[in-house]
Chain A
Amino acid sequence: MNRKTAHILDKCLKRMEDGDSLANCLADYPEYAGELKPLLELSSHIETFRDLQPAPAFQQFSRRKIEQQLQTKQESVTFPGLIRLIKQRRQLTMNRRFQMAKIIVSVMLALAVATGGVAYASDSAHPGDFLYGVDLAVEQVQERLRIETASRLQTQIAHAEERLSEAQAELTENNLENSLQAMNRYAEQIANAARMIGSEDGANQEQLRTMLRTALTLHQGQVDDILEGLPVQTREMLHTRLQESAGPFGPPEEAGPPDEAGSPNEGGAPPDGAGPPEDGGPNDGAGPHDGDGPRDGEGGPNDGAGPYDGGGPNDGTGSGNGSGNHTEGDTTCESSLSEEVKALLLDLAEQYRGYADYDYVLSLYCAEGSIEQVEAILSDAFGPQGGNEGGSGNGSGGGKP
Protein backbone atom coordinates (compact mmCIF):
# COMPACT_ATOMS: atom_id res chain seq x y z
CA MET A 1 0.00 0.00 0.00
CA ASN A 2 2.74 2.36 0.98
CA ARG A 3 4.57 1.73 -2.23
CA LYS A 4 1.51 2.36 -4.36
CA THR A 5 0.54 5.50 -2.45
CA ALA A 6 4.12 6.73 -2.74
CA HIS A 7 3.97 6.12 -6.45
CA ILE A 8 0.71 8.02 -6.89
CA LEU A 9 1.97 10.85 -4.72
CA ASP A 10 4.97 11.08 -6.96
CA LYS A 11 2.80 11.10 -10.08
CA CYS A 12 0.71 13.95 -8.71
CA LEU A 13 3.81 15.89 -7.72
CA LYS A 14 5.11 15.51 -11.24
CA ARG A 15 1.81 16.61 -12.76
CA MET A 16 1.63 19.64 -10.52
CA GLU A 17 5.18 20.52 -11.40
CA ASP A 18 4.13 20.42 -15.04
CA GLY A 19 1.26 22.81 -14.35
CA ASP A 20 -1.67 20.55 -13.59
CA SER A 21 -3.84 21.34 -10.57
CA LEU A 22 -3.96 19.45 -7.30
CA ALA A 23 -7.72 18.98 -7.71
CA ASN A 24 -7.33 17.38 -11.12
CA CYS A 25 -4.85 14.90 -9.89
CA LEU A 26 -6.87 13.98 -6.82
CA ALA A 27 -9.92 13.53 -9.02
CA ASP A 28 -8.06 10.83 -10.90
CA TYR A 29 -7.30 8.96 -7.68
CA PRO A 30 -10.37 9.47 -5.50
CA GLU A 31 -9.59 6.54 -3.22
CA TYR A 32 -6.27 8.18 -2.29
CA ALA A 33 -7.45 11.77 -2.20
CA GLY A 34 -7.96 11.94 1.56
CA GLU A 35 -4.43 10.91 2.28
CA LEU A 36 -2.72 12.64 -0.59
CA LYS A 37 -4.31 16.07 -0.35
CA PRO A 38 -2.55 17.26 2.82
CA LEU A 39 0.74 15.82 1.60
CA LEU A 40 0.49 17.60 -1.73
CA GLU A 41 -0.44 20.84 0.01
CA LEU A 42 2.50 20.41 2.31
CA SER A 43 4.86 19.85 -0.58
CA SER A 44 3.54 23.02 -2.24
CA HIS A 45 4.15 24.92 0.95
CA ILE A 46 7.71 23.66 1.23
CA GLU A 47 8.34 24.63 -2.37
CA THR A 48 7.54 28.25 -1.60
CA PHE A 49 10.95 28.34 0.04
CA ARG A 50 12.82 27.24 -3.05
CA ASP A 51 13.99 30.77 -3.57
CA LEU A 52 15.11 31.42 -0.03
CA GLN A 53 18.17 33.61 -0.24
CA PRO A 54 21.07 34.16 2.11
CA ALA A 55 21.23 37.53 3.80
CA PRO A 56 22.14 40.44 1.49
CA ALA A 57 25.51 40.97 3.12
CA PHE A 58 26.40 37.36 2.56
CA GLN A 59 25.31 37.52 -1.06
CA GLN A 60 27.25 40.67 -1.60
CA PHE A 61 30.51 39.89 0.12
CA SER A 62 30.90 36.17 0.50
CA ARG A 63 32.33 35.48 -2.93
CA ARG A 64 35.12 37.93 -2.37
CA LYS A 65 35.76 36.44 1.02
CA ILE A 66 35.87 32.95 -0.40
CA GLU A 67 38.29 33.94 -3.14
CA GLN A 68 40.51 35.63 -0.59
CA GLN A 69 40.47 32.55 1.56
CA LEU A 70 41.43 30.45 -1.44
CA GLN A 71 44.31 32.78 -2.04
CA THR A 72 45.31 32.47 1.57
CA LYS A 73 45.20 28.72 1.30
CA GLN A 74 47.36 28.82 -1.79
CA GLU A 75 49.87 31.43 -0.87
CA SER A 76 50.42 31.84 2.76
CA VAL A 77 51.46 30.67 6.11
CA THR A 78 51.96 26.93 6.05
CA PHE A 79 54.60 26.45 8.63
CA PRO A 80 57.07 24.42 6.52
CA GLY A 81 56.54 26.82 3.66
CA LEU A 82 57.33 29.77 5.83
CA ILE A 83 60.43 28.18 7.22
CA ARG A 84 61.68 27.29 3.76
CA LEU A 85 60.95 30.75 2.51
CA ILE A 86 62.61 32.54 5.34
CA LYS A 87 65.74 30.45 4.89
CA GLN A 88 65.88 31.45 1.24
CA ARG A 89 65.40 35.07 2.08
CA ARG A 90 67.95 35.02 4.80
CA GLN A 91 70.56 33.85 2.33
CA LEU A 92 69.98 37.05 0.43
CA THR A 93 69.86 39.64 3.13
CA MET A 94 70.45 37.90 6.35
CA ASN A 95 72.02 40.56 8.48
CA ARG A 96 69.71 43.36 7.58
CA ARG A 97 66.66 41.15 7.71
CA PHE A 98 67.42 39.94 11.16
CA GLN A 99 67.91 43.41 12.44
CA MET A 100 64.71 44.58 10.83
CA ALA A 101 62.80 41.58 12.11
CA LYS A 102 63.65 42.60 15.63
CA ILE A 103 62.46 46.08 14.98
CA ILE A 104 59.26 45.08 13.35
CA VAL A 105 58.28 42.51 15.92
CA SER A 106 58.91 45.07 18.58
CA VAL A 107 57.03 47.81 16.78
CA MET A 108 54.06 45.60 16.29
CA LEU A 109 53.99 44.47 19.87
CA ALA A 110 54.37 48.04 21.02
CA LEU A 111 51.46 49.03 18.86
CA ALA A 112 49.48 46.14 20.19
CA VAL A 113 50.02 46.99 23.81
CA ALA A 114 49.26 50.62 23.10
CA THR A 115 45.96 49.86 21.48
CA GLY A 116 45.05 46.92 23.70
CA GLY A 117 42.65 45.61 21.08
CA VAL A 118 41.49 42.23 20.07
CA ALA A 119 42.12 40.69 16.71
CA TYR A 120 39.70 41.79 14.16
CA ALA A 121 39.96 42.36 10.51
CA SER A 122 38.05 43.10 7.41
CA ASP A 123 38.18 42.12 3.84
CA SER A 124 34.83 43.18 2.57
CA ALA A 125 34.99 46.81 3.53
CA HIS A 126 37.72 49.36 3.93
CA PRO A 127 38.76 51.20 7.02
CA GLY A 128 36.30 53.98 7.62
CA ASP A 129 33.46 52.20 5.86
CA PHE A 130 30.24 51.57 7.72
CA LEU A 131 30.54 47.83 7.26
CA TYR A 132 34.09 47.61 8.43
CA GLY A 133 33.10 46.77 12.00
CA VAL A 134 30.63 44.13 10.89
CA ASP A 135 33.21 42.41 8.78
CA LEU A 136 35.76 42.56 11.52
CA ALA A 137 33.35 40.80 13.84
CA VAL A 138 32.55 38.19 11.22
CA GLU A 139 36.21 37.47 10.76
CA GLN A 140 36.73 37.17 14.44
CA VAL A 141 33.98 34.61 14.75
CA GLN A 142 35.66 32.78 11.93
CA GLU A 143 38.87 32.74 13.92
CA ARG A 144 37.19 31.43 17.02
CA LEU A 145 35.81 28.57 15.01
CA ARG A 146 39.31 27.35 14.33
CA ILE A 147 39.83 24.81 17.00
CA GLU A 148 43.33 23.81 16.25
CA THR A 149 45.67 26.50 17.47
CA ALA A 150 48.10 26.48 14.57
CA SER A 151 45.22 26.73 12.17
CA ARG A 152 43.79 29.61 14.15
CA LEU A 153 47.13 31.31 14.15
CA GLN A 154 47.34 30.91 10.40
CA THR A 155 43.99 32.57 10.02
CA GLN A 156 45.00 35.41 12.29
CA ILE A 157 48.20 35.95 10.36
CA ALA A 158 46.31 35.91 7.09
CA HIS A 159 43.90 38.51 8.42
CA ALA A 160 46.79 40.58 9.68
CA GLU A 161 48.23 40.48 6.18
CA GLU A 162 44.97 41.79 4.83
CA ARG A 163 45.16 44.70 7.25
CA LEU A 164 48.67 45.41 6.11
CA SER A 165 47.61 45.49 2.50
CA GLU A 166 44.77 47.80 3.39
CA ALA A 167 47.11 50.11 5.27
CA GLN A 168 49.42 50.29 2.29
CA ALA A 169 46.56 50.87 -0.14
CA GLU A 170 45.15 53.67 2.02
CA LEU A 171 48.58 55.23 2.28
CA THR A 172 48.92 55.17 -1.48
CA GLU A 173 45.65 57.09 -1.61
CA ASN A 174 47.06 59.48 0.98
CA ASN A 175 44.39 58.47 3.51
CA LEU A 176 46.66 58.61 6.51
CA GLU A 177 43.93 58.20 9.06
CA ASN A 178 42.57 55.06 7.45
CA SER A 179 46.05 53.73 6.96
CA LEU A 180 46.81 54.23 10.62
CA GLN A 181 43.53 52.57 11.53
CA ALA A 182 44.42 49.55 9.44
CA MET A 183 47.87 49.44 11.00
CA ASN A 184 46.29 49.46 14.42
CA ARG A 185 44.11 46.58 13.35
CA TYR A 186 47.18 44.79 12.12
CA ALA A 187 48.89 45.32 15.43
CA GLU A 188 45.86 44.13 17.31
CA GLN A 189 45.70 41.05 15.17
CA ILE A 190 49.31 40.31 15.89
CA ALA A 191 48.81 41.05 19.58
CA ASN A 192 45.91 38.68 19.68
CA ALA A 193 48.01 36.02 18.01
CA ALA A 194 50.72 36.63 20.57
CA ARG A 195 48.23 36.32 23.41
CA MET A 196 46.92 33.10 22.00
CA ILE A 197 50.43 31.71 21.77
CA GLY A 198 51.01 32.81 25.34
CA SER A 199 48.29 30.49 26.51
CA GLU A 200 49.92 27.48 24.88
CA ASP A 201 52.56 25.42 26.56
CA GLY A 202 55.98 24.08 25.90
CA ALA A 203 56.93 22.78 22.51
CA ASN A 204 53.71 23.88 20.93
CA GLN A 205 54.29 27.42 22.06
CA GLU A 206 57.79 27.41 20.66
CA GLN A 207 56.57 26.27 17.27
CA LEU A 208 53.81 28.84 17.20
CA ARG A 209 56.19 31.54 18.34
CA THR A 210 58.55 30.72 15.48
CA MET A 211 55.65 30.73 13.09
CA LEU A 212 54.53 34.18 14.18
CA ARG A 213 58.03 35.57 14.14
CA THR A 214 58.58 34.21 10.68
CA ALA A 215 55.39 35.76 9.42
CA LEU A 216 56.33 39.09 10.96
CA THR A 217 59.67 38.95 9.27
CA LEU A 218 57.94 38.41 5.96
CA HIS A 219 55.74 41.40 6.63
CA GLN A 220 58.59 43.67 7.42
CA GLY A 221 59.19 45.19 4.01
CA GLN A 222 55.59 46.25 3.74
CA VAL A 223 55.60 47.55 7.28
CA ASP A 224 58.72 49.57 6.53
CA ASP A 225 56.99 51.21 3.61
CA ILE A 226 53.98 52.11 5.66
CA LEU A 227 55.93 53.45 8.60
CA GLU A 228 57.95 55.60 6.30
CA GLY A 229 54.77 57.17 5.01
CA LEU A 230 53.46 58.04 8.47
CA PRO A 231 54.21 61.36 10.14
CA VAL A 232 57.48 61.44 12.03
CA GLN A 233 55.74 62.17 15.31
CA THR A 234 53.63 59.04 15.01
CA ARG A 235 56.68 57.02 14.28
CA GLU A 236 58.48 58.38 17.31
CA MET A 237 55.50 57.64 19.47
CA LEU A 238 55.52 54.09 18.25
CA HIS A 239 59.20 53.90 18.94
CA THR A 240 58.70 54.95 22.52
CA ARG A 241 56.02 52.36 22.98
CA LEU A 242 58.26 49.82 21.37
CA GLN A 243 60.90 50.39 23.99
CA GLU A 244 58.36 49.89 26.72
CA SER A 245 56.71 46.75 25.55
CA ALA A 246 58.66 44.28 23.45
CA GLY A 247 57.09 41.54 25.55
CA PRO A 248 57.83 37.81 25.62
CA PHE A 249 57.19 37.31 21.93
CA GLY A 250 59.76 39.79 20.78
CA PRO A 251 62.96 38.73 19.06
CA PRO A 252 65.37 36.59 21.01
CA GLU A 253 67.84 39.43 21.40
CA GLU A 254 67.38 42.99 22.51
CA ALA A 255 65.90 45.15 19.81
CA GLY A 256 68.14 47.86 18.52
CA PRO A 257 66.95 51.39 17.97
CA PRO A 258 64.77 52.00 14.97
CA ASP A 259 66.62 53.27 11.96
CA GLU A 260 64.08 55.86 10.98
CA ALA A 261 61.58 53.12 10.36
CA GLY A 262 63.89 51.38 7.95
CA SER A 263 63.80 51.36 4.23
CA PRO A 264 61.52 49.62 1.80
CA ASN A 265 62.05 45.96 1.33
CA GLU A 266 63.83 45.47 -1.92
CA GLY A 267 63.29 41.77 -1.76
CA GLY A 268 59.62 42.11 -1.06
CA ALA A 269 58.31 39.86 -3.77
CA PRO A 270 55.39 37.66 -2.82
CA PRO A 271 56.38 34.40 -1.27
CA ASP A 272 57.01 32.43 -4.41
CA GLY A 273 57.95 29.34 -2.55
CA ALA A 274 54.59 29.14 -0.92
CA GLY A 275 52.09 26.76 -2.33
CA PRO A 276 49.06 24.81 -1.29
CA PRO A 277 49.07 23.40 2.20
CA GLU A 278 51.70 20.76 2.45
CA ASP A 279 51.63 17.37 4.02
CA GLY A 280 52.81 17.52 7.53
CA GLY A 281 51.53 21.04 8.00
CA PRO A 282 49.94 21.97 11.22
CA ASN A 283 46.42 21.00 10.16
CA ASP A 284 47.08 17.58 8.86
CA GLY A 285 45.28 14.81 10.54
CA ALA A 286 44.05 16.91 13.39
CA GLY A 287 40.38 16.84 12.57
CA PRO A 288 37.47 15.09 14.09
CA HIS A 289 37.00 12.35 11.56
CA ASP A 290 40.21 10.54 11.89
CA GLY A 291 39.29 7.02 12.35
CA ASP A 292 36.05 7.49 14.20
CA GLY A 293 33.54 8.86 11.80
CA PRO A 294 31.21 7.24 9.34
CA ARG A 295 33.25 8.46 6.41
CA ASP A 296 35.38 6.01 4.61
CA GLY A 297 37.49 8.24 2.49
CA GLU A 298 37.62 11.54 0.81
CA GLY A 299 35.02 10.73 -1.72
CA GLY A 300 35.61 12.82 -4.76
CA PRO A 301 33.04 13.24 -7.45
CA ASN A 302 31.63 10.08 -8.91
CA ASP A 303 33.84 7.75 -7.06
CA GLY A 304 31.01 5.43 -6.30
CA ALA A 305 31.39 5.95 -2.63
CA GLY A 306 28.58 6.17 -0.14
CA PRO A 307 26.83 9.19 1.20
CA TYR A 308 29.43 9.91 3.79
CA ASP A 309 32.24 10.05 1.36
CA GLY A 310 31.82 13.54 0.16
CA GLY A 311 34.18 15.17 2.58
CA GLY A 312 37.43 16.46 1.33
CA PRO A 313 40.32 17.04 3.64
CA ASN A 314 39.60 17.74 7.19
CA ASP A 315 39.87 21.43 7.73
CA GLY A 316 40.24 21.23 11.42
CA THR A 317 37.12 23.21 12.03
CA GLY A 318 35.15 20.54 13.76
CA SER A 319 36.03 19.08 17.06
CA GLY A 320 33.99 15.97 17.47
CA ASN A 321 35.39 15.53 20.93
CA GLY A 322 33.15 17.85 22.79
CA SER A 323 36.02 20.04 23.76
CA GLY A 324 34.69 23.20 22.21
CA ASN A 325 37.08 26.08 21.95
CA HIS A 326 39.07 25.34 25.03
CA THR A 327 42.76 25.15 24.62
CA GLU A 328 44.68 23.12 27.12
CA GLY A 329 45.94 26.34 28.67
CA ASP A 330 42.43 27.67 29.01
CA THR A 331 41.31 24.49 30.73
CA THR A 332 44.08 24.83 33.29
CA CYS A 333 43.32 28.48 33.72
CA GLU A 334 39.60 27.85 34.07
CA SER A 335 40.08 25.31 36.80
CA SER A 336 41.85 27.93 38.90
CA LEU A 337 39.13 30.54 38.56
CA SER A 338 36.90 31.52 41.44
CA GLU A 339 33.16 31.19 41.03
CA GLU A 340 32.88 34.95 41.10
CA VAL A 341 35.27 35.39 38.18
CA LYS A 342 33.51 32.66 36.24
CA ALA A 343 30.21 34.42 36.81
CA LEU A 344 31.69 37.70 35.59
CA LEU A 345 33.05 36.01 32.49
CA LEU A 346 29.68 34.44 31.83
CA ASP A 347 28.09 37.85 32.18
CA LEU A 348 30.53 39.26 29.66
CA ALA A 349 29.92 36.42 27.24
CA GLU A 350 26.20 37.05 27.55
CA GLN A 351 26.65 40.76 27.15
CA TYR A 352 28.64 40.28 23.97
CA ARG A 353 26.55 37.41 22.73
CA GLY A 354 26.97 37.03 19.00
CA TYR A 355 30.48 38.39 19.14
CA ALA A 356 32.25 36.58 21.92
CA ASP A 357 31.22 33.31 23.50
CA TYR A 358 32.29 32.08 26.90
CA ASP A 359 35.29 30.17 25.57
CA TYR A 360 36.57 33.22 23.86
CA VAL A 361 36.03 35.47 26.87
CA LEU A 362 37.78 32.85 28.99
CA SER A 363 40.74 32.76 26.64
CA LEU A 364 41.00 36.53 26.83
CA TYR A 365 40.89 36.42 30.60
CA CYS A 366 43.54 33.72 30.76
CA ALA A 367 45.77 35.76 28.49
CA GLU A 368 45.12 39.12 30.14
CA GLY A 369 44.61 38.20 33.76
CA SER A 370 41.97 40.79 34.60
CA ILE A 371 38.28 41.29 34.01
CA GLU A 372 38.86 44.97 33.35
CA GLN A 373 41.27 44.22 30.55
CA VAL A 374 38.89 41.71 28.99
CA GLU A 375 36.11 44.28 29.13
CA ALA A 376 38.36 46.86 27.54
CA ILE A 377 39.27 44.50 24.72
CA LEU A 378 35.69 43.53 24.04
CA SER A 379 34.62 47.13 24.16
CA ASP A 380 37.37 48.16 21.75
CA ALA A 381 36.44 45.39 19.41
CA PHE A 382 32.68 45.50 19.46
CA GLY A 383 31.73 48.78 21.04
CA PRO A 384 30.53 49.52 24.54
CA GLN A 385 27.11 47.98 23.95
CA GLY A 386 28.58 44.71 22.87
CA GLY A 387 26.16 44.44 19.98
CA ASN A 388 23.56 42.85 22.20
CA GLU A 389 21.11 45.64 22.60
CA GLY A 390 18.29 43.39 23.55
CA GLY A 391 19.62 42.85 27.02
CA SER A 392 21.67 40.12 28.48
CA GLY A 393 18.96 38.32 30.34
CA ASN A 394 20.90 38.63 33.56
CA GLY A 395 19.50 41.92 34.66
CA SER A 396 22.39 43.93 33.37
CA GLY A 397 20.39 45.41 30.53
CA GLY A 398 22.94 44.32 27.98
CA GLY A 399 25.00 47.43 28.13
CA LYS A 400 28.52 47.62 29.35
CA PRO A 401 28.98 49.27 32.69
Chain B
Amino acid sequence: MNQTTKTSSEYLSRAARGDRRAFGEFYELHRDEIYRYIYFRVSSQQTAEDLTGKVFLEAWEYLQRKRINENSIQNFRAWMFRIAHNKVVDHYRSRKDVVPFEKNIDFLSDRENVEHDIEFRAAADELRNAIQQLSPLYQQVVVLRFINQLSHAEVAQILDIREGHARIIQYRALKELKRYIPEVYEP
Protein backbone atom coordinates (compact mmCIF):
# COMPACT_ATOMS: atom_id res chain seq x y z
CA MET B 1 0.00 0.00 0.00
CA ASN B 2 1.53 3.31 -1.03
CA GLN B 3 1.62 6.35 1.20
CA THR B 4 -1.30 8.15 -0.45
CA THR B 5 -3.47 5.08 -0.14
CA LYS B 6 -2.47 4.65 3.48
CA THR B 7 -3.16 8.27 4.24
CA SER B 8 -6.50 8.14 2.44
CA SER B 9 -7.51 5.04 4.36
CA GLU B 10 -6.65 6.75 7.61
CA TYR B 11 -8.70 9.78 6.66
CA LEU B 12 -11.62 7.55 5.78
CA SER B 13 -11.37 5.69 9.05
CA ARG B 14 -11.60 8.97 10.89
CA ALA B 15 -14.37 10.18 8.62
CA ALA B 16 -16.33 7.05 9.41
CA ARG B 17 -16.25 8.22 13.03
CA GLY B 18 -17.71 11.57 12.00
CA ASP B 19 -14.53 13.57 11.48
CA ARG B 20 -15.49 16.10 8.82
CA ARG B 21 -12.05 17.61 8.62
CA ALA B 22 -10.51 14.23 7.85
CA PHE B 23 -13.06 13.77 5.13
CA GLY B 24 -12.13 17.22 3.85
CA GLU B 25 -8.53 16.04 3.58
CA PHE B 26 -9.65 12.93 1.79
CA TYR B 27 -11.68 15.10 -0.55
CA GLU B 28 -8.64 17.26 -1.25
CA LEU B 29 -6.59 14.20 -2.15
CA HIS B 30 -9.11 12.61 -4.48
CA ARG B 31 -11.24 15.47 -5.76
CA ASP B 32 -9.35 15.92 -9.01
CA GLU B 33 -9.32 12.31 -10.12
CA ILE B 34 -13.02 11.95 -9.51
CA TYR B 35 -13.60 15.23 -11.28
CA ARG B 36 -11.58 14.06 -14.29
CA TYR B 37 -13.47 10.83 -14.50
CA ILE B 38 -16.79 12.64 -14.46
CA TYR B 39 -15.64 15.43 -16.76
CA PHE B 40 -15.09 13.05 -19.64
CA ARG B 41 -18.46 11.48 -19.17
CA VAL B 42 -20.75 14.50 -18.94
CA SER B 43 -21.34 17.52 -21.10
CA SER B 44 -20.02 20.45 -19.11
CA GLN B 45 -17.41 21.48 -16.64
CA GLN B 46 -20.02 22.80 -14.23
CA THR B 47 -21.91 19.52 -14.28
CA ALA B 48 -18.67 17.67 -13.60
CA GLU B 49 -17.95 19.90 -10.61
CA ASP B 50 -21.45 19.55 -9.31
CA LEU B 51 -21.45 15.77 -9.59
CA THR B 52 -18.00 15.56 -8.04
CA GLY B 53 -19.34 17.24 -4.92
CA LYS B 54 -22.26 14.84 -4.88
CA VAL B 55 -20.01 11.81 -5.12
CA PHE B 56 -18.19 12.84 -1.97
CA LEU B 57 -21.37 13.74 -0.12
CA GLU B 58 -22.73 10.32 -0.92
CA ALA B 59 -19.54 8.68 0.25
CA TRP B 60 -19.81 10.60 3.49
CA GLU B 61 -23.39 9.56 3.99
CA TYR B 62 -22.45 5.97 3.44
CA LEU B 63 -19.61 6.20 5.94
CA GLN B 64 -21.96 7.61 8.55
CA ARG B 65 -24.61 4.99 8.06
CA LYS B 66 -22.50 1.87 7.84
CA ARG B 67 -19.88 0.35 9.99
CA ILE B 68 -17.04 -0.57 7.70
CA ASN B 69 -13.78 -2.19 8.57
CA GLU B 70 -10.24 -1.12 7.74
CA ASN B 71 -9.89 -3.72 5.04
CA SER B 72 -12.93 -2.42 3.26
CA ILE B 73 -11.72 1.13 3.45
CA GLN B 74 -8.55 0.15 1.67
CA ASN B 75 -10.58 -0.47 -1.47
CA PHE B 76 -11.94 3.02 -1.35
CA ARG B 77 -10.77 3.93 -4.83
CA ALA B 78 -12.92 1.38 -6.58
CA TRP B 79 -15.77 2.36 -4.33
CA MET B 80 -15.42 6.07 -5.15
CA PHE B 81 -15.32 5.44 -8.88
CA ARG B 82 -18.41 3.29 -8.65
CA ILE B 83 -20.26 6.05 -6.87
CA ALA B 84 -19.00 8.45 -9.54
CA HIS B 85 -20.28 6.16 -12.26
CA ASN B 86 -23.66 5.98 -10.57
CA LYS B 87 -23.82 9.75 -10.33
CA VAL B 88 -23.15 10.00 -14.04
CA VAL B 89 -25.96 7.53 -14.67
CA ASP B 90 -28.24 9.54 -12.37
CA HIS B 91 -27.33 12.65 -14.23
CA TYR B 92 -28.34 11.26 -17.58
CA ARG B 93 -31.48 9.77 -16.18
CA SER B 94 -32.61 13.03 -14.74
CA ARG B 95 -31.51 14.83 -17.90
CA LYS B 96 -30.21 17.76 -15.98
CA ASP B 97 -28.05 20.03 -17.98
CA VAL B 98 -26.47 22.67 -15.87
CA VAL B 99 -25.13 25.48 -17.93
CA PRO B 100 -21.55 26.19 -17.04
CA PHE B 101 -20.37 29.11 -15.04
CA GLU B 102 -17.11 29.41 -16.93
CA LYS B 103 -17.71 33.10 -17.51
CA ASN B 104 -17.52 33.76 -13.82
CA ILE B 105 -14.71 31.38 -13.25
CA ASP B 106 -12.60 32.92 -15.96
CA PHE B 107 -12.23 35.94 -13.76
CA LEU B 108 -10.27 33.80 -11.40
CA SER B 109 -7.84 32.43 -13.93
CA ASP B 110 -4.35 33.76 -14.16
CA ARG B 111 -4.76 36.00 -17.17
CA GLU B 112 -1.41 35.00 -18.63
CA ASN B 113 -2.56 31.42 -18.77
CA VAL B 114 -6.01 32.08 -20.07
CA GLU B 115 -5.13 31.44 -23.69
CA HIS B 116 -3.39 28.22 -22.89
CA ASP B 117 -6.28 27.21 -20.67
CA ILE B 118 -8.76 27.88 -23.42
CA GLU B 119 -6.83 25.79 -25.91
CA PHE B 120 -6.37 23.01 -23.41
CA ARG B 121 -10.04 23.07 -22.53
CA ALA B 122 -11.01 23.05 -26.18
CA ALA B 123 -8.83 20.00 -26.80
CA ALA B 124 -10.25 18.34 -23.71
CA ASP B 125 -13.77 19.08 -24.90
CA GLU B 126 -12.98 17.59 -28.28
CA LEU B 127 -11.69 14.43 -26.69
CA ARG B 128 -14.64 14.32 -24.35
CA ASN B 129 -17.07 14.56 -27.25
CA ALA B 130 -15.31 11.69 -28.97
CA ILE B 131 -15.23 9.56 -25.83
CA GLN B 132 -18.93 10.07 -25.40
CA GLN B 133 -19.55 8.45 -28.76
CA LEU B 134 -18.41 5.19 -27.20
CA SER B 135 -20.55 2.76 -25.26
CA PRO B 136 -20.62 3.45 -21.50
CA LEU B 137 -18.38 0.44 -20.83
CA TYR B 138 -15.78 1.57 -23.34
CA GLN B 139 -15.97 5.11 -21.97
CA GLN B 140 -15.24 3.86 -18.50
CA VAL B 141 -12.29 1.79 -19.57
CA VAL B 142 -10.72 4.60 -21.58
CA VAL B 143 -11.15 7.17 -18.84
CA LEU B 144 -10.15 4.93 -15.96
CA ARG B 145 -7.09 3.61 -17.79
CA PHE B 146 -5.71 6.65 -19.59
CA ILE B 147 -7.04 9.58 -17.57
CA ASN B 148 -7.20 8.09 -14.09
CA GLN B 149 -4.23 5.80 -14.70
CA LEU B 150 -5.75 2.81 -13.01
CA SER B 151 -4.33 -0.64 -13.56
CA HIS B 152 -6.25 -3.36 -15.36
CA ALA B 153 -6.79 -5.01 -12.01
CA GLU B 154 -8.38 -1.86 -10.58
CA VAL B 155 -10.49 -1.31 -13.67
CA ALA B 156 -11.62 -4.91 -13.54
CA GLN B 157 -12.60 -4.51 -9.90
CA ILE B 158 -14.61 -1.37 -10.58
CA LEU B 159 -16.39 -2.84 -13.58
CA ASP B 160 -16.71 -6.29 -12.09
CA ILE B 161 -15.04 -7.97 -15.03
CA ARG B 162 -11.93 -10.08 -15.45
CA GLU B 163 -8.57 -8.42 -16.05
CA GLY B 164 -8.20 -10.10 -19.42
CA HIS B 165 -11.54 -8.73 -20.46
CA ALA B 166 -10.49 -5.24 -19.38
CA ARG B 167 -7.43 -5.55 -21.60
CA ILE B 168 -9.53 -6.55 -24.62
CA ILE B 169 -11.99 -3.76 -24.00
CA GLN B 170 -9.12 -1.28 -23.80
CA TYR B 171 -7.97 -2.35 -27.26
CA ARG B 172 -11.45 -2.26 -28.78
CA ALA B 173 -12.28 1.05 -27.18
CA LEU B 174 -9.14 2.69 -28.52
CA LYS B 175 -9.85 1.33 -31.98
CA GLU B 176 -13.35 2.71 -31.93
CA LEU B 177 -12.29 6.02 -30.44
CA LYS B 178 -9.80 6.42 -33.22
CA ARG B 179 -12.69 6.49 -35.66
CA TYR B 180 -14.11 9.60 -34.04
CA ILE B 181 -10.94 11.66 -33.94
CA PRO B 182 -8.80 10.31 -36.78
CA GLU B 183 -7.43 13.62 -38.03
CA VAL B 184 -5.38 14.30 -34.91
CA TYR B 185 -3.39 11.12 -35.23
CA GLU B 186 -2.58 10.84 -38.88
CA PRO B 187 1.18 10.55 -39.35
Contacts and interface: CB of A to CB of B under 8 A. Distances in A.
A50 B148 CA distance: 7
Contact of A300 (B53, B66, B95): B66
A10 B23 contact: no
Given A38-B178, A134-B104, A54 B49 contact: yes
A38 to B, nearest CB: 5
A142 B56 CA distance: 15
A303 B75 CA distance: 10
A43 B187 CA distance: 15
A276 B94 contact: no
Contacts of A322: 95
A280 interface: no
A46 B178 CA distance: 11
Nearest to A313: B61
Interface residues of B, number: 90
A317 B171 contact: no
A91 interface: no
Contacts of A313: 58, 61-62, 65
Contacts of B18: 74
A320 B93 contact: yes
Given A55-B45, A55-B108, A73-B57, A298 B62 contact: yes
B71 interface: yes
A54 B184 contact: no
A62 B23 CA distance: 13
Nearest to B75: A302
A318 B91 CA distance: 7
* Listed residue (B73, B152, B185) with the most chain A CB atoms within 10 angstroms of its CB: B185
Interface stretch (A63-71, A100-108, A112-120, A221-229): A63-71
Nearest to A325: B96
Interface in B74-109: 74-76, 78-86, 89-91, 93-96, 98-105, 108-109
A56 interface: yes
Given A66-B57, A300-B62, A56 B109 contact: yes
A396 interface: no
B94 A295 contact: no
A67 B24 contact: yes
Contact of A45 (B27, B75, B127): B127
Given A50-B149, A134-B101, A312-B58, A45 B174 contact: no
A267 to B, nearest CB: 25
B160 interface: yes
Given A43-B174, A54-B31, A354-B101, A67 B21 contact: yes
B42 interface: no
B36 to A, nearest CB: 5
B51 to A, nearest CB: 9
B98 A141 contact: yes
B83 A310 contact: yes
A273 interface: no
Contacts of B170: 6, 9-10
Contact of B23 (A55, A70, A293): A70
Contacts of A62: 27, 31, 49, 52-53
Interface string B32-44: 1001100110000
Contacts of B32: 52-54
B108 A49 contact: no
B105 A70 contact: no
A257 B98 CA distance: 45
Interface string B100-132: 111111001100000000001001100100000
A141 to B, nearest CB: 6
A55 B114 CA distance: 12
A46 B94 CA distance: 29
B73 to A, nearest CB: 6
B135 to A, nearest CB: 14
A317 B57 CA distance: 12
Interface string A125-169: 000000000100110011001010000000000000000000000
A318 B90 contact: yes
A354 B45 CA distance: 13
Given A52-B39, A298-B66, 6 more contacts: A6-B170, A42-B174, A45-B184, A53-B35, A70-B20, A320-B94
14 contacts: A6-B168, A41-B185, A42-B185, A43-B146, A49-B127, A54-B52, A55-B45, A60-B108, A63-B24, A142-B50, A301-B73, A302-B75, A308-B89, A313-B62
Q: Would you list the 3 A-B pairs with minimal beta carbon distance, nearest first?
A: A310-B82, A312-B62, A6-B171
